Amino acid sequence: MKTKLLIIFVSLGLFVSIPYAFSSEPVGILVHPPPLKQVQLEISLHEIQCNGDRTLIWQKDTLKPACVFHESELIFDRKWAKMRIGMPAEEITQEKLCLWYADNLPKYLKPYCISESKVLQSDSKPLVVMVAPSINEEYYREVFHDIIDYDIQTVNTIYGKDNVVLLVDKETKHLFEGKIPDDALLEANVADIWIRDFGTVDTMTEVKFDFKPQYLTNEDSVWINDSFEDWYDQKNLSGKKSELILDGGNLVFNGKDKAITTVRVFEDNPQYDELAIDSRLKELLQVTEIAYLPEEEGDITGHSDGMVMWAEPDKLLVNEYEEPFRSQVLGELEASLSGVEIIEIPYVNQNEFWRDWPSACGYYLNSLVTDDFIYVPVYGLTEDQMVLELIQSHTSKEVISIDASNVCFMGGSVRCLTWTVDGLNAEKILEH
C-alpha cells in the first residue's frame, strides 16, 4: 500500500515525515511538501526529541525515526512543541487529521483525531477561562450586574484572538445566552470568580498549589477550592499537586525560565525554611530563577501580579513605586533575575476600599498576557492611553485594552479574573 505523507514542522522550521491515517511506518527521507493547506496542533514534548545535530527526530516512546532538514531549528514553547501540519492540497476535503500523541502516562500512546472545523476553533492558541458569579451568590449581589457586564465585554474582546470560555452555573447561564458566542459558554459549578488564585499555575508544568490564603477563612477557601477541583476532575484534566500554599496571583512566569512571587510564600509555609521553598518551587515549576519581592503595603493578598508583568521573556514591567519601596523591589529583581531589562510603569493608587479589599483601579500590570496579546485593564483615568502606548512600545505582542472599572474596586483586575491553560487540558475543556 502506498504511503500518503503529511509534513510536520515546528516554528516554521522543523520538517518531519509521518504516515497519513497510519498506513505504514514513517520513512527516514527528506520530503519537499506539495501545495499545502496549513492547520495547527500542539504535540506533547515527551513524544519527540531531537539529536544535537538536529538531523533526526525520534518519537520517544515508539522510537520511530523521521528526518528534518539540516537548517531546521527545534523550538519549544514551554512544555509543548507547536506543530504545523501541512496537508496536501488534494486532501483538503478529508474530514479528519490523525496523529499519535503521548498522554500524561509516558508509555501510553493513543490516536488523536481532529476535524478541520475544530482546528479552526482550538488550534495552538492558549485557552482563557473565566468564571461568572452565580445569581444565587449573596456576596456579589450588589455588584452582580456590574460583573456580568464586565464578563460579557471581556469574553467578546478576547474571542477570536485567543480561545476563551466562561464557566457559569445553570441558573445564571441565561444571562449570557445570545450575548457571547455559544461555544464560549460552558456550564459549570465553580464557586468564585477569582479563578487565577485557586486555579493551577501553568509554567513549564501545570501545578495545583494548596489554596489556603491568609485573607480567607478556612471554610471559604475549602469551599472554593473543592468546587474547582471537582470540576477539574470532571473534565479529566491533569497536573501536579503540591502541598505548598501559594495563590496563582502570586506567581508571574516569563514563559521560559524565570518566575516572580513575594515573601508571602515564606509566611504561608512556615514549616519549611526559605532555601527549601526556593528549591521546591524551582523543581515544581521547572524554572532556574525566582525573585521574592517584598509585599506591597496595604495589599492583604500579598500578590505579585499587580506589581510586575512580563512584556517579553527578557523584559519586565514594574510599577513605578516611591522610595524606599522602589529600591527594595528593584534590588530584589536585579539580584535574582539575570539578563532582564526592567521598565518602570506609572500606576495610580486610589487608596479606596470595598469590604476591606484595597482597590485595584489604576493598576495596569494586572494584565492578561498570552502568546500574541496583552490584555491591559483601563479604568477611565487620564493615564490610561499613555500607559497603553508605553506598554506597546516595549512588546512585540498586540496590546488590547479592557475596561475593568466595573470590577477593579473589588481588589482585582483582568489577570485576577482569568486563568490560562494550554495543551491537552485546553482541548478537553473545549470539547464541551
CATH number of the domain to which 243 belongs: 3.75.10.10
Q: Is residue 299 part of a domain?
A: yes
423 — pLDDT class (breaks 50, 70, 90)? confident
355 & 400 share domain: yes
Q: Are 344 and 362 in contact (CB under 8 A)?
A: no
Q: What is the mean pLDDT of residues 115-136?
A: 69
Of all helices (H) and strands (E), which one includes residue 228? helix 218-234
Phi–psi pair at 23, nearest 5 degrees: -75, -25
124 — pLDDT class (breaks 50, 70, 90)? low
Q: Is residue 396 part of a domain?
A: yes
Cα maximum dimension of the chain: 74
Q: Which of 11-15, 290-294, 319-323, 414-418 has the lowest mean pLDDT?
A: 11-15
Q: What is the mean pLDDT of residues 48-62?
A: 37
Q: Which of 11-25, 260-274, 337-351, 381-395 has the lowest mean pLDDT?
A: 11-25
Altogether, the residues listed in the chain come to a count of 432
Amino acid occupying residue 416: C
Is the per-residue pLDDT at 184 higher than 70? Answer: yes
Q: 113 is in which domain, residue-wise?
A: 87-117
| pLDDT value of residue 265 | 99
Higher pLDDT, 201 or 76: 201
The DSSP-derived string for 405-427 is TTTGGGT--TTTT-EEE-HHHHH
| pLDDT value of residue 364 | 99
177 & 98 share domain: no
The pTM of this model reads 0.75
Q: Are 337 and 291 in contact (CB under 8 A)?
A: yes
For the stretch 63-72, pLDDT in tens is 333 333 233 3
Q: Is residue 62 part of a domain?
A: no
268 & 406 share domain: yes
305 & 250 share domain: yes
Strand partners for 177: 180
246 & 378 share domain: yes
| pLDDT value of residue 126 | 87
Is the per-residue pLDDT at 11 higher than 60? Answer: no
Q: Are 175 and 135 in contact (CB under 8 A)?
A: yes
| pLDDT value of residue 90 | 38
3-state secondary structure of 95: coil
Q: What is the mean pLDDT of residues 105-113?
A: 31
| pLDDT value of residue 41 | 36
Q: What is the mean pLDDT of residues 186-212?
A: 95
Q: What is the mean pLDDT of residues 34-41?
A: 32
| pLDDT value of residue 101 | 33
Q: Is residue 133 part of a domain?
A: yes
Q: Are 33 and 7 in contact (CB under 8 A)?
A: yes
For the stretch 353-388, pLDDT in tens is 999 999 999 999 999 999 999 999 999 999 999 999
As a whole number of angstroms, the distance between CA 235 and CA 136 comes to 24
257 & 376 share domain: yes
As a whole number of angstroms, the distance between CA 201 and CA 303 comes to 14
75 — pLDDT class (breaks 50, 70, 90)? very low
Mean pLDDT, the chain, rounded, equals 78
110 & 137 share domain: no
As a whole number of angstroms, the distance between CA 409 and CA 412 comes to 7
Q: Is residue 213 part of a domain?
A: yes
Q: How far is CA 244 from CA 210, 264, 357, 420, in A?
A: 6, 12, 25, 21
Q: Is residue 156 part of a domain?
A: yes
Q: Is residue 19 part of a domain?
A: no
| pLDDT value of residue 203 | 84
165 & 248 share domain: yes
244 & 99 share domain: no
The DSSP-derived string for 269-298 is -TTS-HHHHHHHHHHHHT-SEEEEEPPPTT
Tracing cell 522510537 back to the chain, one arrives at: 63
154 & 289 share domain: yes
CA-based nearest residue to 210, from 280, 158, 151, 142: 280
Secondary structure, 3-state, 338-366: CCCEEEEECCCCCCCEECCEECCCCCCCC
Indicate the number of domains in the chain: 2
Q: Is residue 70 part of a domain?
A: no
277 & 404 share domain: yes
Q: What is the mean pLDDT of residues 201-214?
A: 92
> Is cis: bond before 313, omega within 30 of 0?
no
Q: Which of 112-121, 144-153, 265-274, 311-320 has the lowest mean pLDDT?
A: 112-121
As a whole number of angstroms, the distance between CA 309 and CA 377 comes to 13
For the stretch 252-284, pLDDT in tens is 999 999 999 999 999 999 999 999 999 999 999
299 & 384 share domain: yes
- Of 70, 95, 117, the residue that ends a domain is 117
Query: Can you count the helices (H) and strands (E) in the chain?
Result: 9, 27
